């Protein structure tokens, strides 16, 4: 049986859809951190069947909008002294900024490189985001 030690102080991202942990790792730029990070894929879950978990052994600022955009069902657990002291539930953010880039070659963001890529939630049920400048649909990885 695989054993991954608990973390003393940090963040545990739980209930990640199976296979999405590496995408989250990239979106959150976790490779730039100097702390220990455990990525556990395909963990058995009564609720989800299979899930992924990411453990970050440090208290860092997590961009909750990025997580909510990828999967609003992820649970963010805050750990202190080996105990979960807080949980954050996510929602689809109303607006995301510089999470994804507009792929429309005619969009102003294509000609103005310093301009923020901002998308607004256009359809909550379909999880559809549109560029605020050109209305192009956000393409996820």
3 has pLDDT over 50: yes
**Spatial contact of 109 and 120, defined as CB atoms under 8 Å apart:** no
Res 45: pLDDT:
86
With 0-12 / 13-18 / 19 or more C-beta atoms within 10 angstroms meaning exposed / middle / buried, residue 116 is: exposed
109 has pLDDT over 90: yes
Res 17: pLDDT:
92
- Count of C-beta atoms within a 10 Å radius of residue 29: 10
In the chain, which segments carry CATH 3.30.70.140?
A: 10-89
CATH of 10-89, one of 3.50.50.60, 3.30.70.140, 3.40.640.10, 3.40.630.30: 3.30.70.140
Nearest to 97 by CA among 77, 116, 70, 72: 116
pTM value is 0.81
What does each C-alpha distance from 111 to 70, 74, 105, 114, 115 come to in angstroms?
A: 27, 35, 8, 9, 9
Overall average pLDDT of the 19-48 stretch: 90
55 has pLDDT over 60: yes
Output the CA torsion sign for 62, 68, 71, 73: positive
């Amino acid at each position: 049986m695989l054993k991954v030690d608990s973390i003393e102080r940090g963040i545990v991202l739980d209930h990640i859809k199976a296979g999405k942990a590496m995408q989250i790792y990239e979106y959150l730029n976790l490779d730039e951190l100097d702390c220990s990070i455990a990525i556990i894929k395909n963990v058995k879950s009564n609720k989800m069947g299979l899930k992924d978990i990411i453990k970050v052994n440090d208290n860092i600022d997590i961009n909750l909008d990025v997580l909510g955009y990828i999967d609003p069902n992820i649970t963010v657990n805050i750990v202190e002294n080996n105990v979960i002291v807080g949980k954050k539930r996510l929602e689809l953010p109303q607006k995301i900024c510089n999470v994804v880039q507009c792929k429309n070659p005619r969009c102003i963001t294509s000609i103005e490189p310093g301009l923020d890529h901002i998308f607004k939630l256009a359809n909550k049920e379909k999880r559809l985001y549109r560029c605020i400048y050109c209305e192009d649909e956000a393409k996820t990885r």
